[in-house]
Structure 1
């Protein structure tokens, strides 16, 4: 992360200029942060107010139906729980959140830590979070409709049509879900583990959240769900295993469309390779 003077950083990303309303004095510098396709952010360091992360609104976030305002609403609703960065400022250019000191658990977090963090999130009071429920069909439709025709074929359309509707969901079971929880989004400091990058979070079936994390970590599904149920004091383990399994092909189709859209937007072969692997797996 190279340090860049504030004036130069504002030239590289004009959205940073919108932060002059928040900072009393000019920040010392900014640093680009490594991250995923939709999470190319800045660390901003100010001598008075401290360090923050600027999460801009871009054509990429809009293409993936990411709302910084919804992210802000979630972070404000859970800020007293001390599990996520505090939202400091929101405008039509992006979201500013507090920087969390610590180190990433990407290389060292065992999956039990991820499950414990998932259970903490799922136990939060969803009534305090003023956002609309996650709509799986609307999300995959949004991805599909943006794809150019040359990226579509009969096999892809068949997968999309087969899996574009969600499984039956118990609405009483819905809760706040992170949708991108792995060690890479956990930051450990001296006294706690913080969960970062809430841009995909929403109110949804926790089985979907579990499916996404289990697949991303390539963990054993029955064992992982059983451990989650133990953490949550849930007795109906088999029912929950079936619930997570029902989401698996849907998460793969959603991921497939995500990777194709990422390839369309960025042109990087990595995204096309991931999409091809998912497509082959689903077709087999």
Structure 2
């Protein structure tokens, strides 16, 4: 993380200038944060030690269909849950949230802890969360449309075409979903385990969220579903086994397109290799 004066930071990232009305006194310093592709964020620290995270709106966030205003609405709705950082300010340049002091769980999170966090997110009441439900087809279409023709090989096109529709499944109650819940987005703080980076969060099918977390954690699918349903006191567990299995190829296809788009935007071969690995899962 590179630390610099507030003035230097504003010269490097002009979106920070939009916060000058929020801070009556210029912050003491700003620090670049390492993280995922879409969250090139800043830690901002005032002279009194109070710290924030600035999550800018950029062409990258727009390419991935990320709305900082939706993120703000979700964080505002759940700010008393203890699960997330509190939103502080929003404007057309980005979102300011509180900094959560604590240790990243990227390398130390157990799957039981991950499941507990997932269940806590899915149990949050959704009646006061003013966001549109997740539309799987619209999201993958958004990714596909932006890809350059040279990345749309026949194999990629076939996989996209075959899996672009959501599965026909037994209905379950839609929940708040994080859609990127893993140790790298979780912090052990004085308040307990808290979750950051809600940029992909929305209201959706919790079986898709569960599928994504099972894949990231690389754990036994049947055992994970069984534990999850026990923790949420869900009966009719067969609908959840069927749901996770139906969502898995679609989740993999969505991730494949995400990596292709990431490769197109950043030119990093790592993203193309990840897309190729996912493609091979379909081909075999």
User: Secondary structure in 1 aligned to 2:80?
Assistant: helix
Give the deviation of 1:216 after TM superposition. 1.2
Q: Given that residues 171 and 205 in structure 1 are in contact (C-alpha distance below 8 angstroms), is that contact kept between their aligned partners in structure 2?
A: no
Q: Given that residues 187 and 195 in structure 1 are in contact (C-alpha distance below 8 angstroms), is that contact kept between their aligned partners in structure 2?
A: yes
Q: Given that residues 143 and 258 in structure 1 are in contact (C-alpha distance below 8 angstroms), is that contact kept between their aligned partners in structure 2?
A: yes
Q: Given that residues 106 and 184 in structure 1 are in contact (C-alpha distance below 8 angstroms), is that contact kept between their aligned partners in structure 2?
A: yes
Residues 157-176 of structure 1: pairs in structure 2 closer than 5 A: 157-169=157-169, 172-176=172-176
Are 2:33 and 1:33 equivalent residues in the alignment? Answer: yes
Q: Given that residues 133 and 203 in structure 1 are in contact (C-alpha distance below 8 angstroms), is that contact kept between their aligned partners in structure 2?
A: yes
Are 2:186 and 1:192 equivalent residues in the alignment? Answer: no
Instruction: Please list the CA deviations of residues 55-102 of structure 1 after superposition, one character each: whole Å capped at 9, or x if unmatched.
Output: 000000000000000000000000011110000000000000000000
Give the deviation of 1:50 after TM superposition. 1.0
Match of 2:276 in 1: 276
Match of 2:263 in 1: 263
Instruction: Please list the CA deviations of residues 105-125 of structure 1 after superposition, one character each: whole Å capped at 9, or x if unmatched.
Output: 111110110110010010111
- Cα distance in 1 between the residues matched to 2:256 and 2:216: 13
Match of 1:220 in 2: 220
Give the deviation of 1:170 after TM superposition. 5.0
- Cα distance in 1 between the residues matched to 2:170 and 2:72: 27
- Cα distance in 1 between the residues matched to 2:264 and 2:190: 41
Match of 2:72 in 1: 72
- Cα distance in 1 between the residues matched to 2:191 and 2:211: 29
- Cα distance in 1 between the residues matched to 2:222 and 2:25: 53
Q: Specify every segment of 5 or more residues in structure 2 that has no aligned partner in the other structure, as ranges.
A: none
What TM-score results when the alignment is normalised by the length of structure 1?
0.98
In terms of fraction of residues, the more helix-rich structure is 1
Are 2:117 and 1:117 equivalent residues in the alignment? Answer: yes
CA 1:111–1:68: 2 relative to 1, 3 Å? same
Q: Given that residues 90 and 96 in structure 2 are in contact (C-alpha distance below 8 angstroms), is that contact kept between their aligned partners in structure 1?
A: yes
What TM-score results when the alignment is normalised by the length of structure 2?
0.98
Q: Specify every segment of 5 or more residues in structure 1 that has no aligned partner in the other structure, as ranges.
A: none
- Cα distance in 2 between the residues matched to 1:49 and 1:108: 28
Q: Given that residues 79 and 86 in structure 1 are in contact (C-alpha distance below 8 angstroms), is that contact kept between their aligned partners in structure 2?
A: yes
- Cα distance in 2 between the residues matched to 1:49 and 1:61: 29
Give the deviation of 1:213 after TM superposition. 0.7
Residues 1-284 of structure 1: pairs in structure 2 closer than 5 A: 1-48=1-48, 50-169=50-169, 172-284=172-284
**Displaced runs of 4+ in structure 1, greater than 3 A?**
169-172
